[in-house]
Amino acid sequence: MSDVIRYERVGDIAVLTAQNPPVNALGLDVRRGLLSGFERAEAEGAKAVLIYGDGRTYFAGADIREFGKPMQAPSFPDLCSRVEASPLMVVSSLHGTALGGGLEVALSSHYRIAVPSAKMGLPEVHLGILPGAGGTQRLPRVAGVEIALDMITTGRPICAAKALEAGIIDRVAEGEPRDIGLAYTQELLDAGAPRRPVCDLPAPQSVDFDSRYDELLKKSRGQLSPATALRAVQAACEADSFDAGLRRERELFMELMNSDQRLGLVHAFFSERAVSKLPELKGVAPRALAEIGVIGGGTMGAGIATAALLSGLNVTLLEMTDTAADAARGRIEGNLQGALKRGKISAEQFTVLTTQSLSLAVDYSALAQADLVIEAVFEDMAVKKTVFTQLDAVCKPGAILASNTSYLDVDDIAACTTRPEDVIGLHFFSPAHVMKLLEVVVADKTAIDVVATGFALGKMLGKITVRAGVCDGFIGNRILATYRACADHMILDGASPYQIDAALTDFGFAMGPFAVADLAGLDIGWASRKRLAPTRDPRARVPSFPDKLCEDGHFGQKTGKGYYIYEAGKRGGTANPDVPGLIDANRAELGLTPRAFTDAEIIRRYMCAMVNEAAKVVGEGIARRPLDVDMTLLFGYGFPRYRGGPLKWADIQGLDGILADIKSYAEEDDFFWQPAPLLQQLVAEGRSFEDLNKANS
Ligand code: CAA
């Protein structure tokens, strides 16, 4: 029999047990095993088939690694139809996560039972596809169109109790999946229960699919899978027969399976899991973490403290004065109130976190027992060095001293302590209790177990943790500085900030670069430009219009005015009418005649600048692998997930075309558009960034 599907008989019941760890993915062997299990059960004269999974879950879906390869028989839809058509009564017993193709096998069974902790869902849209084995046809028949649309277009799983209420499962019972499954199947046999194929149920009631399609497309910012999945559900309601609905589902499924968006989303799925798996950390034990110190209680420090508290750590937050400490406490409590409101913590937990786990202090000696201290003070090297010198004096041996700097040289910071091996960068993104990205910045002398502890902390806080080397801006902010410079150059040459923001949100970015700058605070970029001015290459094109806004006291959202004007109580802003004048003056100063840009050219130049800098970041070893860059941009910079990240996007576009464009832009400005050596090398060797990922994972 099959290695991954065990066959056994318990009286009249043929039991098919999935044994394909870790998640019982329905790869080819599993599909073949199930098929031959049915054939044997039917040939042997069993009366019923029970399907369940060994280990942590029922089938968690198709084997995603098989996507894009030719489907080998039995195909998923054929398998599900075969299960449903079996003359024997088929029961599935669910536990863990019955997802995607897993739930589709369950829906093809005639009865379903689950343990209370089981979750069920059709998350295919997150992989750029739709349920392609009858899920869009069967789920609306059992649960109705509204529940089916919600599950299929959001991909959100539901719990067993909800599934029971919706009719997706027939019973919830405590116990082992095998035991409850056997008892239920026997009970059904004893009661003479009939086979109950979902395909025999009437087509569900139709709804206004067209308007919902438009809404979904808008909401998903260009991601096609949710709206396409809706069309498949529409077929369940409107097709002439169940089989015609299945055929329509298949057509739509294949469209998505062959799309670039599917490539991007599957890349994101595997990369977000691979990003924290670094070969050098294998077997390295992290240092113990229980007590955390945070220095600075502004938005960033308070966010870091909140994230640490929510993950069960004790936090001591250090401020300069009692008044500042009170304000910091207020910020943290405000953040925790938000968590309470969203049901992430209970009222009792809120009380414990704010009264027992959090303490405020104004004296460095309060940090003497901390296992890790994260400094989140003003972004100035002299200030950071004063902080680290004091930490070095009070912290216990083995304590990790971390800086939340976003640009500064961590080697330089480490050098002012007597223990540079304990110093690391932990670059959080604001608001730190919400944003998923954490860059772990490894300095020259950082000890390997300190790096492992940075990754362990990221895991505790639920972050996507990326290793970065030391350079100005590390991975994310360094690349941001380049693509933002590219946007500034396009403005000098004739584009407007509003056209650029609109083109890039159409591309799928959460926000355009000028709206982002307003959100982050224009003073941040201003300070950075001033810091870099003394060492800047005279060939660099630096616009003056962003400085003019700051000189006039406009720092973006926090002052109500920047590239946009923000009115209290209103979401988003409207174009600031002063900005075009500032830009015109800057062009006149430089003797530039503006020209028109198409949206396509804006996107191409912006993306080429991003890819070129990203290739330099990988080539210099600041990021270990292309996927580290991709995950940084996805989780910290609003890059559209369905495009996979800038280097996945580049692979999909073709690296030779990108290099050719960079070279043609270099004819106008050969300083800014110096092609990355790694990009040139990959093109010369006919290799891709994905090849590099594979070689380094
Ligand atoms: N195919 C292949 N590998 C899978 C997989 C799948 N469906 N689901 C998980 N894995 C792998 C992960 O990549 C990971 O591998 P590594 O250890 O090498 O990194 C390992 O299984 C464990 O996964 P997680 O670390 O994610 O474990 P978890 O306990 O945190 O989460 C899970 C488990 C909820 C099942 C989560 O892995 C998940 O959401 N998986 C994807 C589920 C999914 O999308 N299913 C639908 C697939 S599409 C489909 O079925 C439609 C079709 O074509 C018919």
pLDDT digits 0-9 by tens, 483-532: 999 999 999 999 999 999 999 999 999 899 999 999 988 998 898 888 88
- Which 3 state secondary structure label does DSSP give 583? helix
Q: Is 620 marked active-site?
A: no
**Rounded to an integer, what distance in angstroms lies between the CA atom of residue 514 and that of residue 500?**
8
Q: What pLDDT, on a 0 to 100 scale, did the predictor assign at position 21?
A: 96
The answer to whether the CB of 127 is under 6 A from ligand 1 is yes
Q: How confident is the model over 678-692, as pLDDT tens digits?
A: 999 999 999 999 999
Q: Is 229 in the pocket of ligand 1 (CB under 6 A)?
A: no
32 C-alpha to ligand 1 centroid (Å): 20
Does the 289-468 domain belong in CATH 2.60.120.260? no
Q: Which residues of the chain have pLDDT under 50?
A: none
Best mutation site among 20, 29, 34, 64 for ligand 1 pocket (most ligand atoms within 8 Å of CB): 64
635 lines ligand 1 (CB under 6 A): no
604 and 450 Cβ atoms separated by less than 8 Å: no
Q: Is the CB of 64 under 6 A from ligand 1?
A: yes
653 contacts 591 by C-beta, under 8 angstroms: no
Integer Cα distance of 4 and 51 in angstroms: 13
The helix/strand/coil state of 125 is helix
Question: Which of ligand 1's atoms lies nearest the C-alpha of 104?
Answer: 54
* Furthest CA-CA distance within the chain: 90
Catalytic residue among 42, 44, 84, 104: 104
β-pairing verdict for 437-441 and 423-428: antiparallel
Query: 76: Cβ below 6 Å to ligand 1?
Result: yes
348 classed as catalytic: no
Calculate how far, in angstroms, residue 23's C-alpha sits from the geometric centre of ligand 1.
6
| H helical segments located in 45-109 | 76-85, 101-108
Q: Are 290 and 314 in contact (CB under 8 A)?
A: yes
- Residue 269 alpha carbon to ligand 1 centre in Å: 8
- Residue having the nearest C-alpha atom to atom 30 of ligand 1: 273
Contact 62 CB / ligand 1 (< 6 Å): yes
**Is the bond into 202 cis (omega within 30 degrees of 0)?**
no
Q: Tokens for 337?
A: 């109130």
CB of 249 closer than 6 A to ligand 1?
no
Helix, coil or strand: residue 32 = helix
Instruction: State the pLDDT at residue 552.
Output: 92
5-258 sits in which CATH class?
alpha beta
Taking the centre of ligand 1 as the mean of its atom positions, its distance from the CA of residue 127, in whole angstroms, is 11
**What pLDDT shows up at residue 320?**
94
The span from the CA of 375 to the CA of 387, in Å, is 8
Which is nearest to 186 in space by CA: 11, 16, 51?
A: 11
Inter-residue contact 475 to 427 (CB < 8 Å): no
640 lines ligand 1 (CB under 6 A): no
Task: Tell me how far apart the alpha carbons of residues 474 and 496 are, in angstroms, rounded to a whole number.
Answer: 29
Which residues does 165 contact at the CB level (< 8 Å), separation at least 6?
A: none
Pick the closest to residue 478 from 577, 612, 379 (CA basis). 612
Q: Among 522, 455, 447, which residue's Cα sits nearest to residue 484?
A: 522
Give nearest CA residue, ligand 1 atom 33. 23
Give the pLDDT confidence score for residue 1 in this predicted structure: 60
The whole-angstrom separation of Cα 385 and Cα 393 is: 12
Which tokens sit at 167? 């009719």
- Hey, where are the domains in the chain? 5-258, 289-468, 476-542+588-695
Segment 359-411, tens digit of pLDDT: 999 999 999 999 999 999 988 899 999 999 999 999 999 999 999 998 899 99
Pick the CATH number of 476-542+588-695 from 3.40.190.10, 1.10.1040.50, 1.10.8.60, 3.40.50.2300: 1.10.1040.50
Express each pLDDT in 266-284 by its tens digit: 999 999 999 999 999 999 9
Given 84, 124, 319, 613, which residue is catalytic?
124
- Where do the H-state alpha helices sit in 521-640? 522-532, 545-551, 579-590, 599-619, 626-636
Question: What is the predicted ipTM?
Answer: 0.97
Task: Report the distance separating Cα 24 and Cα 4, nearest Å.
Answer: 9
d(CA 367, CA 296): 13
Bridge partner list, 314: 291
